[in-house]
């Protein structure tokens, strides 16, 4: 394994850490801004940072912007639209259950994204990769189960799994866009796609709120300090997600991203003071086993 082959894993770990901070910040904003308002924060306040990243890459590589072909646009529009729905479903799931449990439901995504990637992009799904996905996903499912209660009809479960599916479609859309751009620099392809995607999402949702509920836009501006943090962490997380998507299949990236559950568990224990149960510890062990297997097959 060459040194560069580890880059996708490093990018994924950085993205997962940044996304954990963003999720926690957005969760707090939901109470004041509502689901749509908190969803918009990551797009509206993420755009300036995405543009800064793009300018930085242009200066670093001493080059201009790429020229995307027509086939690029359906992929990025699909990815951006799915991310709209996924973020809203995620925040609603967090409103139903605890931070860790909501993240656990959402992280059933890798099983779905592996299937989407195989069908839509032709990303290979080997037996060891499939085993890693199943083991790690079993870990998050185990962590999400509440002893003595059925989760079958739980709104949190339905919202979380729905968020996982749409996050999976979003990942496939963005990876497809990055690959269709066919830029010689994967860094430029990822950064350009981030800037275009966030700009599209921010413009569309701003227009929607301006027409339907301008008070939410005003509330977002009043809460600009925490919104700025959420926007920056969201843009930073997306930047590294896209860098990882440029180098590895969406299934590999989103399976390794299950370490976000471990980060969320740490936030729950050390920030919110919630202890780790034996069931959660067993789930953590399965996630670690799945992640180790995933890394070993790359």
Full 3-state SS string of 61-110 = HCCCCCCCCCCHHHHHHHHHHHHHHHHHHHHHHHHHCCHHHHHHHHCCHH
| Separation of alpha carbons 23 and 171, rounded Å | 17
- Residue 8 tokens, joined: 């996708």
pLDDT score for 262: 77
DSSP 8-state class, residue 276 = P
pTM over 0.75? The answer is: yes
Segments of the chain with pLDDT less than 70: 1-4, 94-104, 144-154, 156, 267-268, 271-274, 298
pLDDT score for 160: 80
pLDDT score for 24: 76
Give domain status of residue 133, yes or no.
Answer: no
Give domain status of residue 293, yes or no.
Answer: no
Give domain status of residue 137, yes or no.
Answer: no
- Whether residue 38 contacts residue 25, with contact meaning beta carbons closer than 8 Å, is answered with no
**CB neighbour list of residue 217: distance below 8 Å, 6 or more residues apart:** 206, 209, 210
Counting every residue written for the chain, the total comes to 298
Q: Domain range holding 170? A: 3-126+150-249
Give domain status of residue 85, yes or no.
Answer: yes
Give domain status of residue 44, yes or no.
Answer: yes
Give domain status of residue 295, yes or no.
Answer: no
Number of domains in the chain: 1
């Amino acid at each position: 394994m060459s040194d560069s082959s580890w880059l996708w894993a490093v990018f994924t770990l950085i993205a997962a850490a940044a996304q954990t901070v963003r999720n926690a910040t957005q969760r707090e904003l939901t109470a004041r801004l509502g689901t749509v308002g908190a969803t918009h924060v990551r797009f509206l306040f993420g755009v300036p940072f995405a543009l800064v990243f793009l300018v930085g890459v242009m200066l670093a590589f001493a080059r201009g912007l790429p020229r995307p072909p027509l086939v690029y646009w359906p992929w990025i529009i699909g990815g951006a639209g799915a991310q709209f729905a996924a973020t809203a479903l995620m925040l609603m799931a967090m409103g139903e259950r605890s931070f860790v449990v909501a993240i656990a439901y959402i992280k059933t995504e890798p099983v779905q994204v592996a299937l989407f990637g195989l069908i839509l992009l032709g990303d290979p799904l080997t037996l060891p990769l499939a085993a890693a996905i199943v083991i790690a996903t079993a870990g998050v499912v185990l962590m999400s189960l509440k002893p003595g209660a059925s989760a079958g009809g739980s709104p949190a479960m339905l919202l979380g799994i729905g968020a996982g599916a749409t996050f999976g479609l979003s990942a496939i859309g963005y990876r497809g866009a990055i690959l269709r751009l066919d830029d010689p620099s994967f860094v430029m392809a990822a950064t350009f796609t981030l800037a275009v995607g966030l700009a599209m999402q921010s413009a569309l949702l701003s227009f929607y709120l301006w027409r339907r509920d301008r008070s939410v836009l005003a509330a977002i501006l009043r809460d600009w300090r925490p919104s700025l943090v959420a926007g920056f962490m969201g843009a930073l997380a997306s930047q590294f997600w896209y860098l990882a998507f440029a180098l590895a299949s969406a299934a590999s990236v989103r399976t390794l991203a299950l370490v976000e559950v471990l980060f969320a568990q740490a936030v729950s224990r050390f920030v919110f003071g919630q202890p780790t149960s034996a069931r959660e510890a067993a789930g953590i062990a399965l996630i670690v086993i799945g992640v180790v297997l995933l890394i070993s097959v790359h």
